Amino acid sequence: MSECTLRITDLRETDSAEYKFRFKTQNAEWGYSFPGTTLTVTDLQVKVTPGKPKTKTLTCSTSCNLTDNSNLTYVWYMNGQRLDKPVSCQHSVKEYYTHSYSCSLLNLRSAVVCIVGQSCMNVSYTHQSVCALKGSTVNISCTFRHPNRQNVTETTWFNKWDSGVIIDLNQDPEYAGRVEYHRTTDKDSTLTVKDLRESDSAEYKFRFTTNIAKWGYSFPGTTLSVTDLQVKVTPATKEGNVTLTCSTSCPLTDHTTYIWHQNGQGVTNEHNNVLHLGLTTEDVGYSCAVKGHEDLRSQTITVRYEAVFPWVPVVTVGAVLTVAVLLVTIYCTMRRRSSGGSDAKTDPQSVHPDAMGDTRTALNLTTLSPDYDTLGSVHPDTNSNTYSSLNMKIRSPDYDTLDVSLL
């Protein structure tokens, strides 16, 4: 029995459905009404319930029982700082209005909850991941909150930390002159990184400090991936079409409109990342860019006529040879007709004397022209140089290879 596996990545709640498999053979096909596998997509939630006096019980829960629930490791965070213990789905904590908690499982994390009230410490990132072009500018933003009775004393963006020691990007030589911090309110922050490099690909985090507490450094932030544009060529089809794809190593975060360039000139009617080309007889250079970053083009690739359409030169040479053979055939036919008809083999009708001797060229009488029909028999006169006429119509076969020589 054969096996079949369906793999779905980046699951969403809308993916919850019943999935079925169907196959066909040369004689029959499997129906579609037989029950399949029902998939339920859930997220993580932290539920807070009363526990012992001045304590709360936290439960990292899902809306359905996870299929593979053996050896699951839960991770808990307090104020953005990972806790070494516990590793189970429940955690008992003391009541404290500043503290916030969240849990994670299989690289997925829950939303942050407060133990007391709704103004505990928290940081929420606008995006978990961002993909941006090399050489462009990217904005990574977040919102944060803290108890009203606390004052923020410091804010920091970073992507490197070691044993609790972090490096502020404003102080990192690799980002000198390329980073800026922006705030529109007292509860948000935006990191701007200019002139992106591939080495900027990393996880970026925000940290703030109040006069009483500090947000941790281990809570997940926003992962930035820096990519460039590349044009990939799909081999030509038998119809002579070739496909160019403007691709990146990660899906660009912003809605993207693509711009194609042909020999440096814009192709105005194409704005998708796929460009279909018809048959061409020239080598053409193509590159692509995205709207808003027209100066960040991909490298130009040359679509070569021979490489993209390898069968075209063969067809062309074949056509030329066919025409050449036809012309030679016509020429030979016309020449034969002009030299005595299509049945003539050579030009043996006349006798050409050799100026250097008495030998004469043999006369092939089997292809004799009608002009020789009156030629009489030749009988030598021993006393004279005069010859009698030779009647060629009644000649003996002995004369078929007659060699005429001067005596």
Establish if 56 belongs to a structural domain.
yes
Nearest by Cα to 191 from 109, 255, 147, 127: 127
**Cα torsion through 332, 336, 338, 339, rounded to 10:** 130
Establish if 138 belongs to a structural domain.
yes
Strands 222-227, 129-133: pairing kind = parallel
Q: State whether 137 and 196 are in the same domain.
A: yes
Q: State whether 4 and 113 are in the same domain.
A: yes
H or E element: which one contains 305?
Answer: helix 305-308
Percent of the chain with pLDDT over 90: 36
Find the domain containing 374 and state its range. 345-407
Q: State whether 6 and 43 are in the same domain.
A: yes
Q: State whether 272 and 254 are in the same domain.
A: yes
Give the model confidence (pLDDT) of 51-83 as tens digits.
Answer: 888 889 999 998 888 877 667 888 999 999 989
Q: Is the peptide bond before 380 cis (omega within 30 degrees of 0)?
A: no
pTM above 0.85, yes or no: no
Establish if 339 belongs to a structural domain.
no
Distance separating alpha carbons of residues 244 and 228, to the nearest angstrom? 16
Q: Is the pLDDT at 222 greater than 90, yes or no? A: yes
Q: Is the pLDDT at 246 greater than 90, yes or no? A: yes
* Domains of the chain: total: 4
200-222 CB burial, b ≥16 within 10 A, e <16: bbeebbbbbbbeebebbbebbbb
Q: Which of 118, 150, 180 is the last residue of a domain?
A: 118
pLDDT of residue 346: 43
Q: What is the 3-state secondary structure (H, E, C) of 190-238?
A: EEEECCCCHHHCEEEEEEEEECCCECCCCCCCEEEEEECCEEEEECCCC
Distance separating alpha carbons of residues 263 and 303, to the nearest angstrom? 11
Establish if 335 belongs to a structural domain.
no
Establish if 406 belongs to a structural domain.
yes
Q: State whether 258 and 285 are in the same domain.
A: yes
Q: State whether 148 and 209 are in the same domain.
A: yes
Given pLDDT bands bounded at 50, 70 and 90, which one contains residue 280? low
Q: Which of 196, 226, 256 is the last residue of a domain?
A: 226
Q: State whether 101 and 85 are in the same domain.
A: yes
Given pLDDT bands bounded at 50, 70 and 90, which one contains residue 336? confident
Q: State whether 8 and 112 are in the same domain.
A: yes
What's the CATH code of the domain at 304? Answer: 2.60.40.10
Q: State whether 83 and 137 are in the same domain.
A: no
Establish if 379 belongs to a structural domain.
yes
Q: Which of 85, 118, 151 is the last residue of a domain?
A: 118
pLDDT of residue 172: 93
Q: State whether 232 and 212 are in the same domain.
A: no
Q: State whether 131 and 111 are in the same domain.
A: no
Establish if 195 belongs to a structural domain.
yes
In this structure, which amino acid lies at residue 28?
Answer: A
Establish if 336 belongs to a structural domain.
no
Q: State whether 355 and 368 are in the same domain.
A: yes
